[in-house]
Structure 1
Amino acid sequence: MAATLTILDDYQSVALSSADWSEVQKTHDIDVVTEHIDDVDALVERLRGSEIVVAMRERTAFPAAVLERLPNLKLLVTTGMANAAIDLEAAKAQGVVVSGTEGSGREVAELTMAMILSLARHIVAEDRSMHEGGWQHTVGVRLEGKTLGLVGLGKQGAWVAELANAFRMHVVAWSPSLTPERAAEHGVASVGKEELFETSDFISVHVPLNDGTRGLIGAEELALVKDGAFFVNTSRGPVVDAEALLMALMVDTLAGAALDVFDVEPLPAADPLRKLSNVILLPHIGYVTREVYEIFFGQSVEDVLAFVAGSPVRTL
């Protein structure tokens, strides 16, 4: 009887069509899970017989408490070469190989600029109005000359800076490790954290989630923003204090926000953010493009075949 390979969180049912799984199917039955399994017991039950699991980014967590309940698991493939939701030490201790894939390119930066443009020109609100029979209800702002504050200037932040500079925005950035020299390499001015929040017309978050960045932006920072400022987060939800952000939007401390990431994903149907008219909400699609899925699942197939052949690749 063939072993089982489970693909988790394939929300759009694209995993099998994004790569050629025919060689894998010679040794494994493939079980595709198209919904998110939030309950740990239900997750363990679904994966109990799986020898290999392919996880989409950090949609499903694999802490030690879950891994120890999956004695048949031999290979865990994560899309991307880093996954904060997997306890790598616990996996190693249990003899589970963890392999990754290459990640996305400029997709997140492109989406960030799309969100900034949508906020500046009220694109979502005007589109909705047009579909309802309306015509011209809002007044936008131009991007040229506006200040974009980047919290983090890593790969994605630098790509956003490049795009923003093309719009002739004034780009500033802050992170605990950012130097003026590195900022200047990307046409960006290095500023202090307070100055960034006080002077930016648009604030965009581009730092990884770790112990040092969890709750990095809270009520104190959001209280500093200038009138009419907009906030964008395509990084990770927990980098921002969710309650502080909600309050800033409810009392108009922020003119608006565009969010692609949340503390809990999928975002619960009853979450109060869904009721606010000054927020653009996207379902964590920063990396979701056809090209990225072809990389994710194509290299997942490579990882599985290499493991089956006894020579795992791209191990974490």
Structure 2
Amino acid sequence: MTLNCAVLDDHQDVALSMADWSSLGGSVEVRSVQEHFGSEEEVAAAVGDCEILVVMRERTPFPASLLDRLPRLRLLITSGMRNASIDLEAAARNGVTVCGTASNSEPPAELTWALILGLARHVVAESGALRDGGPWQSTVGADLHGRTLALLGLGRIGAKVAAVGRAFGMDVMAWSRNLTEERAAEHGVRRAGSLGELLEAGDFVSVHLQLGERTRGLIGAGELKRMRRTAYLVNTSRAAIVDQEALVAALREGWIAGAGADVFEEEPLPAGHPLRTAPNFLGLPHLGYVTRRNYEGYFGEAVEDIAAYLAGSPVRTLAVPS
């Protein structure tokens, strides 16, 4: 019997070219889905015939209500080894095995610097003016050397961002609830005593925390107002860590100099979302992990996950939290 497999949210239509799906032989028929489904009804209608689904991070959530509508589903593969939008208990209850893949931390760290540099040197505005015949040199850039890079989180990605900041000659400091003096010192970083201290000191504040109950809405209006009016905020982690309404207000009212983000609470970002027209905002369509090396790893290991499952020995399974 041939099993049906769909790769969801393959916006660039590259999933089938990034791995050798033919190695699965005739046992699996794979199709790529480029459009994003906005409702559970749309997902169920489009892929209800599938025994296998491959999903990109948290683009399409899989709560219990959706899993209950997919009785044929037996294997759900996510890029990365964490996906907060999959209800693992519901998956287990429905007999669905959930597997993951490796994920490199370098690409999101690199994109963080694309946003920081783009904001600091007004790259988009100056490039647009050059293309459109606008004014020659209309902005004055912000320096990195000698300025303070303030990191919320010093995990795998935050540590890589810190190393680049040090190479630029920046004073790097970090804070998170669990950050120790020893880890900060290990990465040549000063440990801030509190979130407020970090925000008040940072010229560039970059978010690298995991989203959870303690970090959801961590940066609200009060926190944004504690930042310097000349400071920039960058978020390549999870949108919900920063209150989106407060961020729009901060940009429109000049609480901060600008902001960059690669993550949004609703993706794709709706056409009329206020961030699309907010002043001094540099936004990208969640490209942090989108590189050839990452995609070849994701889809290559997805093929391995499928083969292992069909052989009766699933690998890289995501366990139900204890």
Could you tell me how far apart the structure 2 residues matched to 1:95 and 1:85 are?
A: 18
- Are 1:275 and 2:277 an aligned pair? yes
* Paired letter, 1:214: R
Q: Which amino acid aligns with 1:183?
A: A
Distance 2:65 2:214 in 1: 24
Instruction: Describe the superposition over 1:223-248 as per-residue Cα deviations: whole angstroms up to 9, x where unpaired.
Output: 10112110100000011111111100
Q: Equivalents in 2 of 1:80, 1:262: separation in Å?
A: 19
Q: 2:142 maps to which residue?
A: 141
Distance 1:227 1:104 in 2: 34
Letter in 1 for 2:14: V
Which residue in 1 is equivalent to 2:14? 14
Q: Which runs of 4+ in 1 moved over 4 A?
A: none
Write the distance in 1 (CA, Å) between the matches of 2:18 and 2:76: 19
| Residue number in structure 1 paired with 2:287 | 285
One-letter amino acid of the structure 2 residue matched with residue 302 of structure 1:
E
Q: 1:102 aligns to what SS in structure 2? A: coil
SS at match of 1:29: strand
Amino acid at match of 1:173: A
Return the alpha-carbon distance in structure 2 between the equivalents of residues 105 and 261 of structure 1. Answer: 16
Pick from 255, 267, 279 the counterpart of residue 265 of structure 1.
267
Letter in 2 for 1:168: G
Cα distance in 1, alignment partners of residues 44 and 313 from structure 2 = 27
C-alpha separation in 2, matches of 1:95 and 1:302: 20
Contact 2:122 2:139 in 1 (8 A): yes
Aligned pairs for 1:80-119 (under 5 A) are 80-119=80-119
1:198 aligned residue (181, 200, 214):
200
**Take 1:277 and 1:208, find their aligned partners in 2: how far apart are those partners?**
27
Could you tell me whether the CA contact under 8 Å between 2:56 and 2:78 is conserved in 1?
yes
SS class of match (1:50):
coil
Find the counterpart in structure 2 of residue 243 from structure 1. 245
For 2:315, which of 302, 308, 313 is the aligned residue?
Answer: 313
Structure 1 SS opposite 2:12? coil
User: C-alpha separation between the residues in 2 aligned to 1:253 and 1:210?
Assistant: 26
Aligned with 1:232: secondary structure? strand
**Is the partner of 1:23 in helix, strand or coil?**
helix
Q: Per-residue deviation at 1:91?
A: 0.6
Kept after mapping to 1: 8 A contact 2:151/2:174? yes
For residues 40 and 74 of structure 2, the distance between their equivalents in structure 1, rounded to whole angstroms, comes to 19
Instruction: Using the TM superposition, give the Cα deviation of residue 25 of structure 1 relative to its aligned residue in structure 2, in angstroms.
Output: 4.8
Identify the residue that residue 182 of structure 2 maps to in structure 1.
Answer: 181
Match of 1:63 in 2: 63
**For 2:307 and 2:182, how far apart are their aligned partners in 1?**
44
Aligned to 2:16, the other structure's residue is in SS state: coil
SS where residue 198 of structure 1 aligns? helix
Equivalent residues of 2:10, 2:34 under 8 A apart: yes
Aligned to 1:247, the other structure's residue is in SS state helix
Q: In the superposition, relative to structure 1, how do residues 141 and 52 fare at CA in structure 2: closer, same or farther (>3 Å)?
A: same
Q: d(CA) in 2 for partners of 1:31 and 1:106?
A: 29
Matched-pair contact (CA < 8 Å) for 2:199–2:226: yes
Q: CA deviation at 1:309?
A: 1.1
Paired AA for residue 54 in structure 1: V
Q: Distance in 2 between matches of 1:32 and 1:175?
A: 39
Residues in 1 aligned to 2:147 and 2:107: alpha-carbon distance in whole angstroms: 23
Q: Could you tell me the percent identity over the aligned residues?
A: 54
Counterpart-to-counterpart distance in 2, 1:170 and 1:235: 22
Contact 2:166 2:172 (8 Å CA) reproduced: yes
Amino acid at match of 1:281: G
TM-score (norm 2): 0.96
Residue 210 of structure 2 is matched in structure 1 by 208
Aligned residue identity for 1:87: D
Q: Which residue of 2 aligns with 1:46?
A: 46
Give the one of 222, 226, 229 matched to 1:227. 229
Task: Indicate the SS of the match to 2:54.
Answer: strand
Q: Deviation per CA, 1:83-102, whole angstroms, max 9, x where unpaired?
A: 01101111111110001100
In the alignment, which residue of structure 2 is the partner of 1:23? 23
- 1:169 counterpart = 2:170: yes
* Consecutive unaligned residues in structure 1, runs of 5 or more: none
RMSD (Å) for aligned C-alpha atoms? 0.9
Structure 2: gaps spanning 5 or more residues:
none
Name the residue aligned to 2:151.
150
Change (3 A) 1:25 1:5: farther
Provide the rounded CA distance (Å) in 2 between the counterparts of 1:38 and 1:25. 33
| Structure 2 match to 1:32 | 32
Return the alpha-carbon distance in structure 2 between the equivalents of residues 105 and 184 of structure 1. Answer: 21
Aligned partner of residue 5 in structure 1, secondary structure: strand
